Structure 1
Amino acid sequence: MRLFCVSLDGPAFPSEVPGQAPTSPSPQLEEIDPRLQELEQDPPSWRVLASSETLKNLSKKETKRQEVINELFATEHAHVRMLSVLQWVFAKPLERAEILSALDLETIFPSLEEIIDMHYNFYESLKKLRVSDNYIVKNISPTLLNRFGGPEGEWFQKLTARFCSYQTYALDQIKQRQKKDARFNSFIQDAESKPQCRRLQLKDIIPTEMQRLTKYPLLLENIAKNTEEKEEKESIQQSAECCRKILNHVNEEVKTMGNMLVRTQ
C-alpha cells in the first residue's frame, strides 16, 4: 500500500508504509477530552441571555445583526464539537491502540489538533465578546480580523488547506480499509455508535472543515449588511474578503492534490 507524506511547506510524495498493528476497542466516555464533554451542551441563544428591556430597545436591523452574530457563535461551537469528536472518538484512540501508523494518521487527520485549537480559540473569543457586551455584541470586527487576517489568517489558511486537500484521499483510505480489514471496520463501527457522533459516520465528519470554510464569507457579509457604523462595517467586509481568499486558496490546493492522486493511480 502507498500513502502520501504530508508537508506544510512542500508537495506530497509517495512513501511505503509498514504493516498494520492490532486493533483495540474504541474509547469509553471517561477517555474523552473534558473539553469535548463541555461542548456536548449547546449554548443558549442570545435572546435568552440578554435582558428583555434591552431586546425591546433594539432596532429591527440591529436585531437581525445580533441574530447572525449568534448564528456565527452557535455554529462555531458546533464545529469545534464535531472536530473534537474526530480527534477524541477516532484519531486519538486509533493512535493509542496502534491501529494506524503515524503516517496513516497524518494523512487521514492532517494538522487536526492545530485546527481544533484555532477554531476553539476563535469560539472562546466570540464567547468572551458576548459576555463582555452583555450578549449584545457591539464591535466584532477586531475579533474577526484577528482570526482571518494577518499572520493568524495566513496560518489558518495553510493548515486548513493541508487538511482539506487530503480529504478525498482520507475518505478513500477509510473506505478501502473498512473493506479489507475486519478489525479496523469493527473499530470504526463501534466508534460511530458513540453518542458523541450523533448518528454521523466518520465519512460525514471529515468533510466538515471544508463545509465550515464555505459558510464564513456569507455569515460575515450578513453581519456587515446589518451593521450601521461605517468603520465597523468596512472592517467586517474586509474580514469576509479574507475568508473568501482563504476559501479560494483551499479550493486550489484541493484541486492540486486531486490531480496528483489521479497521476499516481
Structure 2
Amino acid sequence: VQRLVGEVPRSRTAQYGRAKFELITSEASCLRSLDIAVEHFQLSSKLQALLSGQERQWLFSKLAGVRDVSRRFLAELEEDLEQDIMEFDVCGILLSHLPDFRAVYIPYVTNQSYQEKTFKRLIRDNPQFREVVEELESDPLCQRLSLKSFLILPFQRITRLKLLVQNILKRSSPGSHEERKASKAFESLAELMSECNENVRRLKSTEALITLNQKIDFESKIFPLVSQSRRLVKDGQLTEIEVANSSLSKRKTASRTIYLHLFNDCILLSRNKENGRFSVFDHTHSRNVIVENRRVRGHRSARFVFQLTLIQNHRGNLREFLLRANTQTEKLRWISALTPIKQEIDLIQHYDSKQVQCLKPYKAAEHDELSLEKADILIVIQGGWDGWEEGYRLSDGERGWFPSDHVDPIRGTNARIRNIEERLRVRRMADQLQTSAAPP
C-alpha cells in the first residue's frame, strides 16, 4: 500500500483520495496488531496451559475470527488498489464484507463484560497468569502495549472504520455515485455499531436486573422486575425533603434518604435496608412521571432540589416527592433522565451552540453517560457545572453526559457551521437511501 501511495500523482492526492488511502493503511495497521493479539497472546502455549476452555472463550471470544475478516478485507482492498490506483472502490468492498464483520464483531463486542470480569479475576487470583502475561507483554513485538490494549482493539476498530468512512463521505462530490456508496457504507457501519451497543446494554441490563431482583423487597404487590425489554436508565440515592403543610414557603422541614431505580418503562422508589437491600414502597409506569425544577425557600440545605410527581402510582394515587441531589450536575442528570426526549435534535437551531471535540477517550461509567473516542465532535446541550456537560454527538446522534476535562471547545465559527452542515448532509443521504429502499 505504501509503495502504491507513493506512486499516486500529486494531481490525485486530493482530500478524497487521501481519505480512501487512510482507510487502507489503517486496516493494515489494525491487522498487524490483530496478528500479535492472536499469534503472540491467544495461541501462546504458556497462556493456553493456564486457562480452562471457558476462560479462553470469555477472554478471547472471536478474536481470531476478527483477525481473519480483517485479513480478507485488506487483501481485497489491496488487490483493487493494484488494478486501478485511481478509482479503487473502498466503500463498495467494505459493503461486501459487512456481513462478515457483523458475524464476528457482534458476538465479540457482546462478550465484553465477560472478558473484563475474566481478565480482572485472573490477574487478581492467578499469579501464574499475571506472570505469563507480563512476560508476553515485555516482548519488543508488543511495543510496550498491554494484553488489554490488544483485546479492546476490535471495540475501537468499528468506531475507527466509521470515522474513516465518514471522512470519505465528507470529501466525495455531492450528488455523485461515490457519495451515495459512501453514505450507504457509513449508515451500515452505524447500524452495526448500534446493534453492538444495544446487545451490550441488553446483556448488562439483564445481569443488573437479575442481581437487583435478589436485593429488592416490595412492601405491597410484587412487581415482576426481570424482563428482556426492560433496561436500567439511571439509579442512585437522593434526599427526600418533607415540608410541613406541603408548602414550599418558609416552613419547618425534615429529610430522609430515598433510592430511585429508573427503567425505560417504570420507576421504583425504595428505602435502603441492611446488607445492600432495598424496600420498594412505591412504583409506577414511566409515562406517569412528571419532573420539575423547584426551590425550597428558607431552607439552607435545600439546594439542588427538584419535584418528582407520580400522576398515578401502583395504587392509582397521586404522589409528590421533593428530592435533593448532592450537586447541580446530579440534579440536572436526574431531570434529563426523567424527562422523555427525542434522541435527534434540530441542528438548524444549534448553529450558535457550543461545540467541543474529544481530546482523550472516555468510557461511560453510568447509564446516562456517553462514551467518547478521540476526535468525537459534540454539541453541548447543557452543563458546565461540577466538571460535567450533556452533549449530542454529531457522528451518530447519541446523547449523554461526559466529563468536561476530556474535551476542548471548538472556537471557530466557520468550523462549527461546517460540522453541522456535514451532519445534515449525512442525514439527507441517509433519508434518501431509506426512501429509495422502501417498497413502492
1:111 lines up with 2:62 in the alignment: yes
Q: 1:158 to 1:253 in 2, by over 3 A?
A: farther
Kindly tell me the number of residue pairs found equivalent between the two proteins. Answer: 210
How far apart, CA to CA, are the structure 2 residues paired with 1:49 and 1:99? 49
After TM superposition, give the deviation of residue 175 of structure 1 in Å.
Answer: 2.0
Q: Does 1:213 align with 2:164?
A: no
Change (3 A) 1:171 1:196: farther
The answer on whether the counterparts of 2:24 and 2:74 sit within 8 Å (CA) in structure 1 is yes
- Greater gyration radius: 2
Answer yes or no: is the 8 Å Cα contact 2:55–2:118 preserved in 1.
Answer: no
- Post-superposition Cα deviations, 1:155-199, rounded to whole Å, max 9, x if no partner, equal 422321111122232123112212211111111000111122111
Any idea what the Cα deviations from partners look like across 1:190-244, whole Å, max 9, x if unmatched? 0111122111111122111111111222211221222237122201211111100
Question: Pick from 155, 168, 177: which aligns with 1:223?
Answer: 168
Say yes or no: does 1:121 pair with 2:89.
no
The SS at the match of 1:98 is helix
Two-structure CA RMSD over aligned residues (Å): 2.2
Deviation at 1:75, TM superposition (A): 1.1
**TM-score (normalizing by structure 2):** 0.45
Contact 1:171 1:203 in 2 (8 A): no
2:193 is aligned to 247
In 2, Cα distance between equivalents of 1:263 and 1:124? 44
Counterparts in 2 of 1:146 and 1:44: CA distance versus 1, 3 Å: same
**Residue 92 of structure 2 is aligned with which of 118, 137, 142?**
142
In the aligned structure 2, how far is the partner of 1:260 from the partner of 1:202? Answer: 28
Residue 139 of structure 2: which of 194, 201, 217 is its match? 194
The 8 Å contact of residues 58 and 111 in structure 2, kept in 1 or not, is answered as yes
TM-score (norm 1): 0.72
- Please give the alpha-carbon distance, in whole angstroms, between the structure 1 residues aligned to 2:46 and 2:134: 17
> Partners of 1:177 and 1:65 in 2: how far apart?
46
Quick check: 1:169 aligned with 2:114?
yes
1:262–1:86 CA distance, 2 compared to 1 (3 A): farther
Say yes or no: does 1:79 pair with 2:30: yes
Identity of aligned residues (%): 20
- Cα 1:192–1:261 change in 2 (3 A) is farther
Q: Which ranges in structure 2 are unaligned for 5 or more consecutive residues? A: 212-440
Instruction: After TM superposition, give the deviation of residue 80 of structure 1 in Å.
Output: 1.3
1:245–1:129 CA distance, 2 compared to 1 (3 A): same
Determine the C-alpha separation between the residues in 1 that align with 2:4 and 2:200: 37
Q: 2:55 is aligned with what amino acid?
A: D
Whole-angstrom CA distance in 1 between matches of 2:107 and 2:140: 29
Counterpart of 2:273? none
Work out whether 1:93 is the aligned partner of 2:39: no
Flag the 1:224–1:45 CA change in 2: closer, same or farther, 3 A.
farther
- Cα distance in structure 2, aligned partners of 1:45 and 1:237: 29
Whose helix proportion is higher, 1 or 2? 1
Deviations 1:67-117 (A, max 9, x none): 111111111111111122111111111587422112211111112222111
Aligned to 1:182: 127
Q: Cα deviation per residue 1:10-51 (whole Å; 9 max; x = unaligned)? A: xxxxxxxxxxxxxxxxxxxxxxxxxxxxxxxxx52754233x
Secondary structure of the residue that 1:203 maps to in structure 2?
helix
Higher relative contact order (CA 8 A, sep 6+): 1
